């Protein structure tokens, strides 16, 4: 069992590594990203707004917006805001908005305004039927899900264009923001070939002056997000014998758009001391495909959990995570489910032996696939295959292009990130 746990721990580290170095940078040594990009809107139209609950009017985070019959899509941010850019020749298309537990909504693009659109989704208020909570039923469902991976997720390679963002903040102050457009060669689900990611363009905003004695960087970049694809990399959660390490339970059914789904929760068995995961799988009732998942790393064992995250740390400090949560969403296309969005949120604390106060940091990574099946990347422009241990904040400075971002879909930044960018730009 220890051998399997060690192998599993290596997989956990793939999606949970950051650097913490006691090498302060002087303000003079800092380089800041370019100012707001210049947008050429002659070939595309942009729509901005918010997706909210029709009853509470609260924003729905990470809702999906996609053109029907097309490959263009985006997601809302944590506040429910969205930004969607569409080529002008597709302005007559219809837009599908979906979110877990809510009814799908379809609207015509040409009925949207450029700004301040409000899209309300109605929650399902009918009972979808409760399942009998049975350990045996849950285990049988898991086995069927795993047996249908090849059938549900395909044997073909897929080319995707995606938008990646990572942020680091200390308490409520943003210290760095890195954004990039990447091309993903998504390998087939029936082989062990690793996905390949190319960087096309990127930009960054940094303010290390507030890091005091620490330089904090994330390692892995978009590869961290792509490894959250638990159906391509099931060993992250599902070992060769997941029933040995996890208890599975069926909860009440729910619905994602028009798809009725099982909700299969899991958590590590109490006799397993090493940090594993707990969370929920949302499984399409018809195909038995996992179409969404949310899960957290168990961080109760501080020392063990810390070893998954920290590559370097300064002497005289104790560093440990307080939250490590993840999300993965898939999108159906021609009868197959494709990787569509993933996000990780990691919070950690630094305790100093010779200081009265500790430090709290939060980091977020997210990757949204904005186009499936074709590449918008101009082969005449530079691109590079990223290494799996890439540090994006060090990499993107070579790809700055103030005119690039105009036609590409990005995840609308949270208001706090927008404020941080404006504040940093004043220093340029």
Give me the DSSP letters along 126-158.
S---PPP--HHHHHHHHHHHHHTHHHHH-SS-E
Range in 103-112, 180-189, 239-248, 340-349 with the lowest mean pLDDT? 239-248
Name residues whose C-beta falls within 8 Å of residue 221's C-beta, 6 or more positions apart in sequence: 164, 166, 180, 197, 365, 386, 390, 391, 392, 395
Residue bearing tokens 């680091």: 168
Residue 341 predicted with pLDDT over 70:
yes
The model's pLDDT over 272-311, given as tens digits with 9 standing for 90+, comes to 888 889 999 999 999 999 999 999 999 888 888 887 777 7
Q: pTM of the predicted model, to two decimals?
A: 0.80
Distances (CA, A) of 96 to 70, 74, 75, 339, 409: 11, 11, 11, 17, 16
pLDDT category of residue 200 using cuts at 50, 70 and 90? confident
Residue 246 predicted with pLDDT over 60:
yes
Q: What is the pLDDT of residue 129?
A: 53
Nearest to 367 by CA among 401, 327, 400, 332: 327
Contact 372, 64 (CB under 8 A): no
Residue 23 predicted with pLDDT over 50:
no
Q: What is the DSSP letter of 123?
A: B
The Cα–Cα gap between 119 and 59 comes to 10
Question: Between residues 402 and 21, which one has the greater pLDDT?
Answer: 402
The model's pLDDT over 372-395, given as tens digits with 9 standing for 90+, comes to 876 555 555 666 888 888 888 888
Q: What is the pLDDT of residue 304?
A: 83
The model's pLDDT over 118-169, given as tens digits with 9 standing for 90+, comes to 999 988 765 545 554 455 689 899 999 999 999 999 888 888 989 899 988 8
Question: Between residues 1 and 224, which one has the greater pLDDT?
Answer: 224
Question: Between residues 18 and 74, which one has the greater pLDDT?
Answer: 74
Nearest to 327 by CA among 337, 340, 338, 315: 340
Q: What is the pLDDT of residue 35?
A: 33
Residue 404 predicted with pLDDT over 70:
no
Residue bearing tokens 């263009």: 72
Q: What is the pLDDT of residue 418?
A: 61
Q: What is the pLDDT of residue 272?
A: 86
Q: What is the pLDDT of residue 420?
A: 55
The model's pLDDT over 35-46, given as tens digits with 9 standing for 90+, comes to 333 344 568 899
Q: What is the pLDDT of residue 424?
A: 47
pLDDT category of residue 241 using cuts at 50, 70 and 90? confident
Q: What is the pLDDT of residue 8?
A: 45
| Summary mean pLDDT of the chain | 78
The model's pLDDT over 51-65, given as tens digits with 9 standing for 90+, comes to 999 999 999 988 889
Q: What is the pLDDT of residue 215?
A: 63
Percentage of the chain modeled with pLDDT above 70: 75
Question: Between residues 38 and 343, which one has the greater pLDDT?
Answer: 343
pLDDT category of residue 217 using cuts at 50, 70 and 90? confident
Q: What is the DSSP letter of 57?
A: -
Residue 264 predicted with pLDDT over 90:
yes
The model's pLDDT over 66-76, given as tens digits with 9 standing for 90+, comes to 998 888 888 89
According to DSSP, the residues that pair with 107 across neighbouring strands are 95
């Amino acid at each position: 069992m220890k051998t399997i746990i060690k192998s599993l721990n290596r997989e956990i580290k793939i999606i949970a590594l950051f650097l913490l170095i006691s090498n302060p940078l002087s303000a003079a040594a800092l380089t800041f990203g370019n100012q707001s990009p210049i947008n050429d809107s002659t070939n595309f139209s942009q729509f901005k707004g918010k997706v909210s609950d029709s009853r509470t009017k609260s924003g729905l985070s990470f809702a999906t917006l996609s053109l029907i019959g097309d490959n263009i899509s985006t997601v809302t941010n944590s506040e429910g805001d969205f930004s969607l850019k569409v080529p002008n020749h597709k302005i007559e298309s219809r837009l599908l908005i979906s979110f877990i537990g809510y009814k799908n909504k379809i609207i015509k693009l040409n009925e949207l305004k450029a700004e301040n659109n409000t899209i309300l989704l109605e929650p399902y208020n009918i009972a979808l039927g409760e399942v009998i909570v049975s350990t045996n039923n849950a285990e049988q469902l898991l086995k069927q899900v795993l047996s249908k991976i090849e059938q549900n997720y395909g044997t073909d390679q897929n080319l995707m264009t995606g938008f990646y963002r990572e942020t680091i903040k200390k308490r409520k102050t943003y210290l760095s923001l890195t954004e990039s457009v990447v091309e993903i060669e998504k390998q087939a689900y029936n082989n062990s070939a690793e996905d390949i990611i190319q960087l096309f363009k990127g930009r960054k905003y940094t303010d290390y002056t507030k890091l005091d004695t620490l330089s904090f960087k994330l390692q892995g970049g978009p590869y961290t997000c792509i490894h959250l694809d638990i159906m391509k990399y099931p060993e992250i959660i599902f070992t060769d014998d997941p029933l040995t390490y996890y208890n599975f339970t069926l909860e009440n059914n729910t619905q994602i758009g028009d798809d009725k789904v099982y909700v299969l929760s899991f958590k590590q068995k109490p006799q397993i001391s090493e940090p594993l995961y707990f969370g929920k799988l949302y499984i399409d009732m018809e195909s038995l495909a996992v179409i969404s998942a949310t899960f957290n790393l168990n961080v109760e064992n501080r020392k063990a959990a810390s070893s998954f995250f920290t590559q370097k740390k300064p002497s005289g400090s104790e560093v440990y995570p307080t939250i490590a949560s993840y999300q993965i969403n898939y999108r159906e296309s021609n009868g197959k489910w494709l990787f569509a969005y993933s996000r990780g949120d990691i919070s950690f604390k630094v305790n100093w032996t010779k200081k009265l106060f500790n430090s709290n940091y939060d980091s977020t990574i997210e990757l949204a696939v904005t186009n499936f099946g074709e590449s918008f990347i101009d082969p005449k422009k530079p691109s590079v295959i990223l290494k799996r241990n890439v540090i994006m904040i060090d990499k993107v400075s070579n790809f700055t292009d103030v005119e690039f971002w105009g036609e590409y879909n990005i995840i609308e930044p949270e208001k706090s990130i927008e404020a941080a960018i404006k504040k940093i730009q004043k220093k340029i």
